[in-house]
Structure 1
Amino acid sequence: MTTAVVPHVPARLGRFVLRMFRPHIYVTYALLWVLALESSAVALTGTAWRPTGATWVRVVTVVLALLFLRMLDEQKDLAYDRVHHPDRPLVTGAITVTELRGAMAALTAVVAGLNALQSATALLLILTSLGYALFLAVLEGASRAVRDRQLLNLAVTCPVQVLLGAYVYGALAAAGTVTADWHGVVLLALCACVFLHFEFARKTAWTAEPTARLYSAGLGPRRSAAVTAGFAAGAIGCQVALFAPDGPLGLLPCLAAVLPAWGTRRFLAARRGGWPLPAAMGFVVSTYLALVVRAVLLP
């Protein structure tokens, strides 16, 4: 029976990826994230930035790491999805746990091989990121509080994003492209704030089903909106701290602040529905894109 289905596994995985890891969203996010982080880190040294072969290794690595995390999340959420999302691929049998775990092992081997060719530091950092994600799966399985309490869950899962950012910055430092200093810490904080702004925005609403996993369910819609706006403000503050000495062009990415400002006003004025997600997504895209443009244009 197993032999009969093996030839169909790539097709099943392909359908899973297209549905649960929409490339136009995840790949675009990973691309902009890595380019914004790397270009800003290099530009802060006073060196002109241009992408290299190593840049694309980091982009591919982060894309594959995000796919690894999506596959892991599908398994962690299986019990919840059986009740609330019965059409998910793992629930319907369109994919199996064994197939997902096999794909995760293959992804790990690929990213390990890619980064072993770069440096031992890059290899260690990416494996640490994936290892921490696996640890979280065990922790969530063992702790109902971590699994069910949204804010606690976010507190223990957010470091995965920080570790992936640290992989990009650490790989640059290991290659001698940048010297690790306080700029790296602020850059990682900037990226974390951008991510958390979108994360809170997509889970903030005035009303929701009792079983919905929303931050606003625990904080209340106004406080959740304040946290959402606060993370956007944190991202802008990090940019000011890093780039204000470069003058008006250095602060170009701060223009994206208009989007969370509008989103906050719209959400609070509407008193119904959820946070306007186009504004939150636009903030992520415009911030990262502006950071890349800034790094390219600065002498």
Structure 2
Amino acid sequence: MASTLNNCPAPAKLNLFLHVTGRRPDGYHLLQTVFQLLDHGDMLHFERRNDGAIRRTTPVAGVPEESDLIVRAAQLLKSAVRDGAHLGANIAIDKRLPMGGGLGGGSSDAATTLMALNHLWQTDLSRADLMALGLKLGADVPFFIFGHNAFAEGVGEALQPVATPDCWYVVIEPGVVVPTAAIFSDSELTRNTKPVRITDFSKAHTGFGKNDLQVVATKLFPPIAEAIEWLRQYGDARMTGSGACVFCLFKQEHQAEAVLAAVRETGQANWKAWKAKAIGRHPLSHLLKS
């Protein structure tokens, strides 16, 4: 029985568009979006323990161990299996994705934890089982376990696989952290965008729709607006999720490289920029039963 599982990717996601179509009686917003996986993200490492303890062995600034989605995901998986009291793990993380960036970093970390520990602990839960557990941790977690780029509805948990362009993205982190609750609670947020169909996106691919959260985020956090305005000289730049990161699509890697060089020339000390390739499947999908 393996005792370690190292170099487990937790990829970033982009929202290629994000529409708010309504609001449920419990206050949760109804969304439509397309989630795109990237070949850039965090990296997690797992070591099995047999004393029932869950330990995060690397510090994460601003995130206490007990409230970290990584630790909460491991505890949730333990509680979901019979005779799981002895199951434990040491978990290390190489953190690359920013908090409050709209890239799904915490959700992706939680999903990777569920998939990796399900394999390491041999708990043998199905993909559907893990997706149901993941939804208890956050609306984006099931997508990463789903494992494919997806057209999502509901609060983000109703997923259909969708084909997306084979391309590169430039992502700019504009140096601000956006609290999701502040965006969704703003009185100026559009909450009645007309629903679309998956075929509408599939026909258009690039440049489809908009991000309804962007108007509010750019009002509250001007650096986001500045990054979008600058990146728009190269294409259809927009914000992902509730912010703060913005992105633009490029067909070729050399085009993305040229834009990264231009970012460095702006002298924007607070900007961090990087390129990533679009991928079609989660790198850990092979660990799960369908």
TM-score normalised by the chain length of structure 1: 0.28
Higher strand content, 1 or 2: 2
Between Structure 1 and Structure 2, the one with more helix by share is 1
Q: Which has the higher contact order (CA 8 A, sep 6+)?
A: 2
TM-score (normalised: structure 2)? 0.28
Q: Which has the larger radius of gyration?
A: 1
